Structure 1
């Protein structure tokens, strides 16, 4: 016996083989005997025995196949045997894992019953929690101060939670693992407790004509019944013209419509009462009358020009219970409403917006919601003192005012232009200079002066650099349009891959403002090269697509059209030549025909003149004397007959020529058209 079955193992429902090998002459045959049975193993539904090779296959392996197997090798001379063992591994299976319901403060135990070979290792995990509660034989695992323990007894493991609370209500996963695989199943612990509220509800503001919702969210198990009460009133609120109750799972909304006739009593405290079998809980909240906001705390002028003011308004301390959505500003006889929204900005920005000293915002790092959008007043008069009245507005109405005065500046030259162009140009030969809407100095801008020059940008270390001019300024003067004021200008004829300095000045009737210099870099010539390459690739893709779809690519279609035009032109030339020849030939023939006719007529007249006249017939006296016969009647008939003969002869002579011309034209039209490649560019 060279090799026996040995110690083998396999997983249930998978394929496993036992093999033994022996030497002998003649070659031995093999039999397998299980657990000392006298009868050898034979083929069955899941077992196949190869007696020549000494192999027994289990397809698939079953639990009953586990045991000791003796392999006997024999021939005519003798036999040899060897015994091995087959161990069947069984994946874990959870037989029972029941849900548990308990009350707050009591205990709860989940039992997980499993089977498998070998015995599975079991762990528990709360769904949504990454930490596992491990187990081991006769090992106690505890956490949270010993409140949660895991005990194992063979194939049964228990998760026990003592002093349960509402947060223990959850699904818990029992996971069993052994060498053959794993299994998992969820069980639920439900902790019952009386209602309570863990979210504090804020007061709700309302006013006559407005509808508002008061909500409460309750935690309770089992599901509670929720009722609403006003003040200490013992009567439950029911649906009517003022109230409407919307019940949802463990929450409730009380919708309140404030009518003019109800405003004297409807505001105040409301109670949400929740009740279940274990007790009750309540939460109080208020319905408060909203009012118009107080006056703004402060108004500051951020920017001032002869005709424009930019204001920053700090909201009032009391907004009346409703968010402020805008401000009303009055001066002279002008009333303007500004609608603004809440914007989230760094505290430093908003502090600066409302005029807080600059040494404050350097230390502010938090963010919050505040009104920080600037308010711009335009079309003011220069050198004029205004008294402004500012009101805050909310949905309830317009609040109390705050007043301040300010004197606008004198008429002056335009303020410096603020250039906002991207310093990196998109194109190699032109650059678009953009600037912000200019501050005009109180008068219309009539002209822009735009200067530019090529320069060299020299790095001085880090992100710092200096610009060294390489040529003189090139100057452009552009008239502005008062109806559509300029906000950009396109510089053309620039050098690719170069740096330029640009300066823009605005001019009004007072004079020109100071310039703002900005440097920018043109794109390189490679941009155009890349564009051309992309276009060619696109053309090839379209050509291939057309070839597959229409059996004719774009290039072939162009070639065919050129060839057809050339062939058509050749045919037209031949046809025109033939037509001209035909026309000329027919014209000559008509002239010859006319000449012949004249000659025939002349000959006929000469013959008639040489013939003596026929005497008139002699009549009897009794016969009537009729009118004399017309002279030359026979001559006219002879002439007509002669003309018809001449025309017929000419027609017979012309027909062969006409047929020849038509055949020539047909031959030209039927000739194949050839296209000279040299004419296609």
Structure 2
């Protein structure tokens, strides 16, 4: 036909492909403008784009360097051009957006390093001359919780504190609180035990309200944001301000004239407080006579040196900060000496010793007691002897007493001010000298056929023990063997004893007064031990081998020394000869040079006067020889005798040389 009426779609009845042959006479191409161009006998039809997607919705997590790829499948004639759009803007290739087109009609958009802002709708648009088609794809971006706002808070004790925490994420996280000091958790809608904590949250924001703030609430609080894909935690610090609080319980201090005393005012406060000292409405300054102020963080110390009664009395410490002011009063009182101790008792009285016990005085005079003074003397004597207690112990032991003697004792307490009054005088009498108490013994096996008896010191009856009388025998014998042990010894060694035998022992102590009651003791000597076992029972295998090698080495050394002295052989002889030969060779060489200066063999020289001087090469030094030239003379074996007229005494067979 010479004309066409419109556009043919591949979806029209009777047409299944983009290019169709209508008849053999003519062909045409249909355009949207209803124009018809005669091309050839074949008619080409322009087909609008057809666009499809496999997956329309995608999920991804932000900030994890994830990537998502959208895919569009297009068809149409001519082949459609595919573009990608977001928020009305066409996307261009970049580091974040990668656009690609496959040969089978597929077009892809890859979004790299996905962030929270990348979420939303994306459009795939296919366009050709016959028309265009667009499909939307959706990207859901999940974001881990992140706390964006949390600040430290300062509150005043007793008031209310509000702590705010803001977090973001996709989906929005749930927010909870935790107190670091005890790990207690606070959540929205859940009340705590004391009802002072309340949490309210909405749209990623949570507020923790604390009513009636206490000092125990001071410290760190953690805000925790949690969602199904993760969590985030941040901490803040709750600081609490409060009026000064005095930490000193002592309000009375004691001193005396000329003795300095420190009155300490200790304060805890936030913010730090300034402290002033006052006395009778007058402020004490650094230049106040006989008073000095020492300051440190949270402490002010007033040093007072009383010079008269006017310096004793009331002193006031004032602490102030911007929250409030507090006062504390101190009293400086005059100290006194302690009162007297009482209930003095004597115990454990013996011939030489006595123990004094007593009770502390009712008053220490305002100054701590330094020690107790115990005085004692013999009845009738005027000289008191002093014994000081160790620190403030109320028990003192008196030593060096005389037996069978009556003594008087009294006690006084001493503090910084001085010595207090003495207690009532108590009398006691030491015991008379008597025989010693029976000795106490304990035994242990000694080395070999010996047994060691330990002697425990006991009551000596007032006089030193002179000796111990030790008697011992076997259980089958009647006759006792006696051993005397000096009283200063603390053991007795019994030996020699019999193996595999039971022994009976009787021990008596003696002093100048007499003998003690005997103490009886029994012990059993074991069987005779095996020599090898006794020697090596305590040694390991390695130690035994080492001892054996050591013994063998010692034996070899003894044999070598014997050979050296008796037979002049052995390793020691070889070493001696080696050392001596070096020394002999050196000395012999020097001696030979001295004695051989006159012995030369003159070669090629018939007249001595015409011979070259010494040192010329044709002069050759030779050793001395006998006339027959057979045997060299040994200078160290020549014996020379001289007559009274200085002439040599020679024998017929002596060498002429």
TM band (smaller chain): 0.5 to 0.7
Do 2:465 and 2:511's aligned partners in 1 also have CA atoms closer than 8 Å? yes
Q: Write the deviation string for residues 423-482 of structure 1: whole angstroms up to 9, x where unpaired.
A: 999999999876776442211121235689999xxxxxxxxxxxxx9xx9997542034x
Q: Distance in 1 between matches of 2:255 and 2:541?
A: 64
Deviation at 1:287, TM superposition (A): 1.9
Distance 1:495 1:131 in 2: 79
Distance 1:213 1:91, change over 3 A: same
Residue pair 2:374, 2:410 contacting (<8 A) in 1 also: yes
- 1:400 equivalenced with 2:421 (yes/no): yes
Displacement after TM superposition at 1:236 (Å): 3.1
Residue 175 of structure 2 aligns to a residue whose secondary structure is strand
Q: Does the CA-based 8 Å contact 2:625-2:632 persist in structure 1?
A: no
Give the alignment of 1:342-361 within 5 angstroms.
none
Match of 2:169 among 107, 116, 119: 116
User: Structure 2 CA distance, aligned partners of 1:48 and 1:434?
Assistant: 104
Q: Aligned in 2, Cα 1:100/1:38: closer, same or farther, shift over 3 Å?
A: closer
Structure 2 CA distance for aligned equivalents of residues 394 and 489 of structure 1: 51
- Residue 303 to residue 192, structure 1, CA distance change in 2 (3 Å): closer
CA contact (8 A) 1:448 1:506 kept: yes
Partners of 1:8 and 1:414 in 2: CA distance:
104
Whole-Å Cα distance in 2 between the matches of residues 574 and 249 of structure 1?
85
Matched, 1:442 2:449: no
Deviations 1:109-137 (A, max 9, x none): 111122234433333344423323x223x
> 2-side partners of 1:287 and 1:237: how far apart?
18
Secondary structure at 2:571's aligned position in 1? helix
Task: State the TM-score, normalized to the length of structure 1.
Answer: 0.57
Identify which of structures 1 and 2 has the higher relative contact order when contacts are C-alpha pairs closer than 8 Å and 6+ apart.
Answer: 1
Q: Structure 2: how far apart are the matches of 1:112 and 1:435?
A: 82
SS in structure 2 at match of 1:141: coil
Following the alignment from structure 2 to structure 1, what is the Cα–Cα distance between the partners of residues 97 and 573? 88
Separation in 1 of the partners of 2:110 and 2:239? 47
User: Contact 2:465–2:509 (CA<8 Å) still a contact in 1?
Assistant: yes
Query: Matched residues in 2 for 1:34 and 1:302: separation?
Result: 110
* Aligned with 2:296 (options 248, 252, 272): 248
Considering fraction of residues, name the structure with more helix.
1
- Counterpart CA distance in 2 for 1:503 and 1:42 is 116
Aligned: 1:648 with 2:625: yes
**Residues 248 and 84 of structure 1: CA distance in aligned 2, closer, same or farther (over 3 Å):** same
Structure-1 separation of matches of 2:56 and 2:438: 98
How far off its partner does 1:256 sit?
A: 1.9
1:511 match: 514
Q: 2:440 matched to 1:391?
A: no
* Alpha-carbon contact 1:107-1:164 (below 8 Å) kept: yes
CA RMSD of aligned residues (A): 6.0
1:91–1:116 contact (8 Å) kept in structure 2: yes
Q: Deviations over 1:178-205 (max 9, x none)?
A: 4423322213243344x34354224222
CA distance in 1, matches of 2:178, 2:503: 68
> Which stretches in structure 1 are left out of the alignment for 5+ residues?
21-32, 71-82, 343-370, 456-468, 541-553, 580-646, 659-681
Picking from 467, 475, 487, the partner of 1:480 is 487
SS at match of 2:402: coil
State the Cα deviation string for residues 17-46 of structure 1 (Å, max 9, x = none). 8899xxxxxxxxxxxx99999999989479
On the 8 A contact 1:192/1:220 being kept in 2, the answer is yes
The one of 566, 571, 574 equivalent to 1:567 is 571
CA distance in 2, matches of 1:65, 1:528: 91
CA contact (8 A) 2:449 2:498 kept: yes
Q: Which residue of 2 aligns with 1:679?
A: none
User: What's the CA shift string for 1:505-564, capped at 9, x where partnerless?
Assistant: 643222344577899999999999686349849999xxxxxxxxxxxxx99x99999999
Aligned equivalents of 2:352, 2:119: Cα separation in 1: 101
Alignment check: 8 A CA contact 1:324 1:394 kept: yes
Shift of 1:390: 1.8
- Aligned CA distance change for structure 1 residues 59 and 323 (closer, same or farther; 3 Å): farther
Q: Which structure has the highest strand share of the two?
A: 2
Secondary structure of 2:348's partner? Answer: strand
**Take 1:408 and 1:425, find their aligned partners in 2: how far apart are those partners?**
40
Go from structure 1 to structure 2 and tell me whether the alpha carbon gap of 1:331 and 1:191 turns closer, same or farther (over 3 Å shift).
closer
- Asked whether the equivalents of residues 46 and 61 of structure 1 are also in contact (C-alpha less than 8 Å), the reply is no
User: Is 2:150–2:236's contact at 8 Å kept on the other side of the alignment?
Assistant: no
Distance in 1 (alpha carbons) for counterparts of 2:525 and 2:112: 76
Query: Which of 522, 533, 539 matches 1:532?
Result: 539
Q: In the alignment, does 2:187 pair up with 1:135?
A: yes
CA distance in 1: counterparts of 2:308 and 2:270, whole angstroms: 38
* 1:253 Cα deviation from its structure 2 partner: 1.4
Q: 1:557-603, CA deviations, whole angstroms, 9 ceiling, x for partnerless residues?
A: 999999999534245479999x9xxxxxxxxxxxxxxxxxxxxxxxx
1:172/1:187 contact within 8 Å kept: yes
- State whether residues 94 and 114 of structure 1, in contact with CA within 8 Å, keep that contact through their aligned partners in structure 2: yes
Question: 2-side partners of 1:48 and 1:289: how far apart?
Answer: 99
Residues 413 and 419 of structure 2 are in contact (CA less than 8 Å); yes or no, is this contact kept in structure 1? yes
Cα deviation, 1:326-359, whole Å, max 9, x if unaligned, reads: 22222232422324135xxxxxxxxxxxxxxxxx
Q: Give 1 or 2 for the bigger CA radius of gyration.
A: 2
TM value normalised by structure 2:
0.58
Aligned to 1:78: none
Structure 1 counterpart of 2:267, from 218, 226, 244:
218
1:227 Cα deviation from its structure 2 partner: 1.2
Residue pair 1:122, 1:157 contacting (<8 A) in 2 also: yes
**What secondary structure is seen at the aligned counterpart in 2 of 1:265?**
helix
Residues 66-107 of structure 1, C-alpha deviations (whole Å, 9 max, x = no match): 67999xxxxxxxxxxxx99775442433423242344x4432
Q: For 1:316-355, what aligned pairs fall within 5 Å after superposition?
A: 316-332=361-377, 333-341=383-391
Between the aligned partners of 2:214 and 2:580, the Cα distance in structure 1 is 109
**What does the per-residue CA deviation read over 1:283-342, in whole Å, with 9 as the maximum and x for residues that have no partner?**
112222222222112222231111111222322222223333322222232422324135
Residue ranges of structure 2 left out of the alignment (5+ in a row):
1-53, 71-83, 103-107, 124-136, 378-382, 562-569, 584-623, 636-657
Q: Does 1:99 align with 2:103?
A: no
CA distance in 2, matches of 1:161, 1:447: 85
Write the distance in 1 (CA, Å) between the matches of 2:361 and 2:352.
28
Give distance in 2, aligned partners of 1:564 and 1:8.
98
The answer to whether the 8 Å contact 1:96/1:114 transfers is no
* Alignment match, 2:48: none
Question: How many residue pairs get matched?
Answer: 493
Change (3 A) 1:538 1:45: farther
